[in-house]
Structure 1
Amino acid sequence: MGIRYYAYAFDSENTEQVLMDPLGFVSRDPLADAWGMEPGATIGYPTFKQSTPERDMLYLDKAWRQLQWLTGPSAEGRDARPAFRMFEGEVTMHHDGWESWIRALTPAEMVAIAEDLETISEDTMRVQGTTTSCALSDSDAEYAIPYLRRARTFVRALADEGRGMVYLIG
């Protein structure tokens, strides 16, 4: 099925608890949340409509990698953008599959991330993706652009509401 990206919002009063146990704020079955399936079901029919409210969950499918390349440091020496904080991370592969990457971002961090995401235009993604070391193909950029829009909307709402997020790549 592949490695995917899921983020869950949390209210500011939970920040300390989230920082101590970020996994405690992630659904037991994030793919079911994203695809509109019954959690834990081994057989079922996805609705492909996110069952967790969009205010509370961001699903980036496999586009996190393109967004990570776009915002991360480059071989040319470019520093990572502030938005990289929400895409940074790699799973740890082992003989049974992988161990997910998880990170909590505080409400204070969301402001800079939201401001940075707003400066990344779709044209920038298309052009920069083909001129940096990540060399996004046109199809990669086109795939990731709708997810960039979702990320921008989700993070802006978190910043405006004073909420943070926990994200999982896995």
Structure 2
Amino acid sequence: MGIRYYAYPLPDSQVRFARLEPEAFMSRDPLADAWGLIEVDSETGQPIDPEPRPQPEMLYLDKCWRELQWLFGDEDGPFRRSFDLVRGEVTMTPCGWIPYFGVLDADEVRAVAQNLAEVTAADVDHLLEGHAELYRGDDVDGERRYILEFLGRAQQFLASMTKRRSGLIYMIG
């Protein structure tokens, strides 16, 4: 299945509470939110509602959060401010992993969005040139498109959150 990334808008007035109890502010099924899955009754296996549920406002980075960590990180100096969007690691256990939760207030979202807007395709190209181990097989163009797609989603989502003066909560898990 894999470790994925999900972020949701968070009213700035709720940031303090979300930092104390992040699980209470996350969807109970973020993958279903991202994919618009149909809920199925666990006993009968029949759809509870045959229509896919509408996708809530969210940022879904699939498994690209790791590539974005590499893109926003800097081996030779400080991390970019945009790293705060994907900062964190799951905690591995013998039975799987414990998710990582991050919370950004509206001012942090604005700062991350400003920095994120400066990240370009040239930055992605530079990342891929120096790190052949980042992409699977020989499909450099496919990996480039994959990263650029999710980078664009992140840029749009944070620009929207900035306009609304919203915070956000995210989960890597």
Question: Normalising to structure 2: TM-score of the pair?
Answer: 0.84
**Match for residue 111 of structure 2?**
112
In structure 2, how many angstroms separate the alpha carbons of the residues matched to 1:4 and 1:100? 10
Superposition deviation, residue 70 in structure 1? 0.5
Give 1:111's aligned amino acid.
R
Residue 65 of structure 2 is matched in structure 1 by: 64
Say if 2:142 is the partner of 1:143: no
Query: 2:120 & 2:46 partners in 1: Cα distance?
Result: 38
Q: Which amino acid aligns with 2:81?
A: P
What's the counterpart of residue 93 of structure 1? 92
RMSD after superposition:
2.3
Does the alignment pair 1:129 with 2:128?
Answer: yes
Pair 1:82-2:81 in alignment: yes
Partner of 1:163: 166
Runs of at least 5 residues in structure 2 that lack an aligned partner in the other structure: none
Cα distance in 1 for residues equivalent to 2:13 and 2:159:
19
Q: Whole-Å Cα distance in 2 between the matches of residues 165 and 40 of structure 1? A: 29
| 1:7 has 2:7 as partner | yes
Distance 1:41 1:84, change over 3 A: farther
Percent identity over the alignment is: 36
* Residues 139-166 of structure 1: per-residue CA shift (max 9 Å, x gap): 3222111110000000111111110111
Describe how 1:34-45 pairs up with structure 2 within 5 A: 34-38=34-38
Deviation at 1:106, TM superposition (A): 0.8
Q: What is the aligned residue count?
A: 163
- CA change 1:112–1:89 in 2 (3 A) is same
Match of residue 18 from structure 2: 18
Aligned AA (2:103): A
Distance 1:41 1:169, change over 3 A: farther
Partner deviation per Cα, 1:50-92 (whole Å, 9 max, x = no partner): 8333xx3100000111101000131xx2210000011111111
Task: Give the counterpart letter for 1:83 in structure 2.
Answer: S
In structure 1, distance between residues paired with 2:80 and 2:91: 24
Q: Shift in Å at residue 40 of structure 1?
A: 7.1
Q: Cα deviations across residues 89-144 of structure 1 (Å, max 9, x unaligned)?
A: 1111111111111111111101110011111112321223323x686442322211
1:7-37 CA distances to partner (integer Å, 9 max, x unpaired)? 0111122222222222211101111111111
Question: How many angstroms does 1:41 deviate by?
Answer: 6.0
